[in-house]
Structure 1
Amino acid sequence: MDRENDLVGGDWTDERSRIVAAQAAAAERAAAKEAAQAQVLIDAFVAEAARRGIEPHPLLAPGKDLRRRRYRTGLVGWYLSRDERVAVDTDGRYYVLRAQGTLRERLTGAQVEPMDPPLVVGRGARDGESIDLQRLLNRRLGDPE
C-alpha cells in the first residue's frame, strides 16, 4: 500500500512539474510577443522624434539617495516619464533608469542595462501609476491624447 501511494505521489509531482514548465513557457512566449509589439512602437517613436527634430539629450539616472542626485549613464535619448526614470535611447532601447548612488557611480557614471519594453509602463503599480506605452510615447511627442 505504501508503494502505491509513493507511485501516485511521484506521478502527481511529475505532472505538476510538467504543468509548471508549460505555464512558464507560455508566460515567456507572451512576454516576448509583448516586447516585440512594444519595440515596434518605440522604433516608430524614435523615427518620428528624429523627423520632428526633437533632440535627444544625455540620460541621467536618478539615485536611491534622498539628495536627488542624478548620475551620468553615457546614454543619449529621450525621457518618456515625467519623473525621468523611463527612457529610450537613440537606438530604440528601453530603459528604467536607476543608480545605486555609490561613490564609483559618482565618479564613473551609472551602468544601466536595456530592458524588454512593456506595452503598459508601470503595470502592477498603484492606481494611476501605469500608462499605455503608446500614450506615453504620444505624450512625449507632444501629440494630444
Structure 2
Amino acid sequence: MGRADARRAQAQEARRAAKSGGIRRLFTWKKLLGTFFGMILLGMGAFGALYLYVDVPAPNALAERQSNVYQYSDGTLLARSNSGVNRQIVDLAQVPKEVQHAFVAAENKTFYKDDGIDLKGTTRGLINTLSGKGKQGGSTITQQ
C-alpha cells in the first residue's frame, strides 16, 4: 500500500465519521426540540387543567354585594349585617340632584356638554404621559 492509498483510506474514514457525526447531531436536535415542545404541551395542559379546576368569580359579583337589612313590620330598621360591605342599591331617583351633580362635577365636568369623548383631556393626558410629567388620562364617565 502506497502513500496515495493511505491518504484515500484516511479521507474515506473522515467522510464516514463526518456523516455519522451529523446524524448524531440530528438526533440530538430532535431530542432537544421534542423535549422543548413536550414541555410546552405539558405547561399548556397544566394551565388548562387549572382553568377548569379553579372557579373564576363573576366580574360584577363583588360590585353588586349588599349588606343585609332587617326591618320591623312597620318598615323601621332593626339591624344591618356588615359582611365587609356597607352598601345598598338604590334607584337614581332616590339620589338627590345635588349629589348627582357633585359626582358628575368631580368625575367629568364636561359630562353634559361633550359627546362622551373629551378630546382636550385625552390630548392633555397623552402629552403629559409622553413628556414624563406623570401619567394622566382623559377618560370620561361614558368611557369608564
Per the normalisation by structure 2, the TM-score is 0.34
Instruction: Answer 1 or 2: which has greater helix percent.
Output: 2
TM-score by length of 1: 0.34
More strand by share: 1
Select the structure with the greater relative contact order (CA < 8 A; seq sep ≥ 6): 1
